[in-house]
Amino acid sequence: MTAHEAVHPGAVLAQAMAFQPARLVLTGIEIGLFTELAKKPATEDEIRERLGLHTRGTDHFLAALVELGFLERSSSGEFRNSRAAQQFLVPGDEGYLGGFLRIAGQVMYPAWDKLGEALRTGAPQAATYTGEDMFGELYESDEKKDGLVGMAEDASRPLIPALTESFGWAKYSSVLELGGCRGNVLAGLAKAHPHLDACVFDLPQLEGDFSAHMSAIEMAGKVRYHGGDFFADPLPQADVLMIGHALVDWNDEQRKQLVKNTFDAVRPGGAFLVWDPVIVDDDESYLRNLIRSLNLQLMTPHGKGYRFEQCAEWMREAGYAEVTHTSLGHDVTLVVAHKD
Ligand SMILES: C[S@@+](CC[C@H](N)C(=O)[O-])C[C@H]1O[C@@H](n2cnc3c(N)ncnc32)[C@H](O)[C@@H]1O
């Protein structure tokens, strides 16, 4: 909102009421609208019948989604997905974001309702867990585990091409990804750089999901798994250690400790890579990453965003030499620390 727009009530309302269009899209995902229309375009009557919707409101719900650019309406009155909806909101497509957006609707949306409480107390507001061991609790339920994994992969999948190209992988022969989940990112990296000995380090609870996923994407045997706790257990050695979308989950003391833990495991001449929604002043991602920081505060026991300068300081304190950073796109920064 520019200073000029700020004096116009429409600009204030557009920002303050942005939860309404957000809820339209999230509800479309929740009730299966985009998945249904991907099978076959349909009239309003057919949509109501197929999704069990009431006559009151469906017409304006669909018309509003047309205006927002998620549906198209033909001259004969049939609705179909727009290109954006078809590409990003229908399961099975490469660019699918529904895993992330479903959890956004179910878990983040109610948590954001309690932002005031979070600001007063500093306490998380997600209703899916209660204690300090968020991952341990979520992994006790297959549904919650699948939700978290789906959300993480939707967020990291678009970064894989930039990650394979933004670092000189050819110079190194092994990589260990901390918090590498089901190995989806590392599998993409290993496909692009098959010379790499690639290993995921994540909690033991995910090993079965990792093996099933590697088989499903025909990468079984190409990426290894090492179960453990990256705070408490010794880390296996590799030329490159990497952690993505995971340092943000912790507080500064925990992050410092984690960065320190990596130093002995990185072989001399190697590197430690971090990619996260780092807060970068004057970058066009600045506001979105401040919002993501608050989202982490609502969703995790200790997480929040951090700045590049903080990360560089943790790295230098741990013993790393040169620290550089570059954008991976999608509001994510890759920070690279070299070990002499
Ligand atoms: C937000 S997810 C990111 C997953 C993956 N890097 C991606 O971006 O697709 C964080 C990951 O850290 C893992 N994790 C959390 N605590 C851990 C710990 N103490 N030791 C090892 N892994 C941990 C979780 O199991 C999860 O896979």
62-82 residue pLDDT tens: 999 999 999 999 999 999 999
Expressed in angstroms and rounded, the spacing between residue 183 Cα and the centre of ligand 1 is: 10
Domain with CATH 3.40.50.150 in the chain: 134-339
Ligand 1 closest atom vs CA 243: 6
Ligand 1 closest atom vs CA 184: 9
User: Residue 215 pLDDT > 90, yes or no?
Assistant: yes
**DSSP secondary structure string, 183-243?**
SHHHHHHHHH-TT-EEEEEE-GGGHHHHHHHHHHTT-TTTEEEEE--TTTSPPPPEEEEEE
What is the four-CA torsion angle of 275, 276, 279, 281, rounded to 10 degrees? 30
Please give the DSSP secondary-structure letter assigned to residue 42. Answer: B
Angle (nearest 5°) at CA 163 between 162 and 167: 105
Mean per-residue pLDDT over the chain, rounded: 95
pLDDT at 143: 93
Strand-pairing partners, residue 58, are none
When pLDDT is cut at 50, 70 and 90, the band that residue 8 belongs to is confident
For the record, the structure tokens of 83 come out as 């290109």
Most ligand 1 atoms within 8 A of CB, residue of 181, 184, 276 to mutate = 181
- In tens, the pLDDT along 268-321 reads 999 999 999 999 999 999 999 999 999 999 999 999 999 999 999 999 999 999
ipTM of the prediction: 0.99
pLDDT at 221: 95
d(CA 78, CA 74): 5
d(CA 117, CA 119): 5
pLDDT at 93: 76
Most ligand 1 atoms within 8 A of CB, residue of 200, 201, 202 to mutate = 202
Expressed in angstroms and rounded, the spacing between residue 222 Cα and the centre of ligand 1 is: 20
User: Residue 92 pLDDT > 90, yes or no?
Assistant: no
For the record, the structure tokens of 332 come out as 């994510």
User: Residue 21 pLDDT > 60, yes or no?
Assistant: yes
pTM of the model: 0.91
pLDDT at 324: 95
**DSSP secondary structure string, 133-188?**
-HHHHHTTSHHHHHHHHHHHHHHHGGGHHHHHHSS-GGG-SEEEEET-TTSHHHHH
pLDDT at 4: 56
When pLDDT is cut at 50, 70 and 90, the band that residue 5 belongs to is low
Burial of 64 (0-12, 13-18, 19+ CB in 10 A): middle
The CA distances from residue 19 to 27, 108, 128, 154, in Å, are: 12, 12, 21, 22
List CB contacts of 238: < 8 A, sequence separation 6 or more: 174, 175, 176, 197, 199, 265, 266, 267, 270
User: Residue 2 pLDDT > 70, yes or no?
Assistant: no
CATH top-level class of 9-89: mainly alpha
d(CA 28, CA 33): 5
Ligand 1 closest atom vs CA 159: 8
Expressed in angstroms and rounded, the spacing between residue 288 Cα and the centre of ligand 1 is: 22
CATH of domain 134-339: 3.40.50.150
User: Residue 1 pLDDT > 80, yes or no?
Assistant: no
Average confidence (pLDDT) over 105-129: 96
Residue nearest to atom 11 of ligand 1 (CA): 179
- Say what percent of the chain tops pLDDT 90: 92
Average confidence (pLDDT) over 25-44: 97
Helix, strand, coil shares, percent, the chain, to 5: 50, 15, 30
Expressed in angstroms and rounded, the spacing between residue 156 Cα and the centre of ligand 1 is: 12
Domain with CATH 1.10.10.10 in the chain: 9-89
- In tens, the pLDDT along 171-192 reads 999 999 999 999 999 999 999 9
Average confidence (pLDDT) over 211-231: 97
The CA distances from residue 103 to 31, 158, 197, in Å, are: 13, 18, 33
When pLDDT is cut at 50, 70 and 90, the band that residue 6 belongs to is low
Expressed in angstroms and rounded, the spacing between residue 243 Cα and the centre of ligand 1 is: 8
Residue with tokens 């066009």: 284
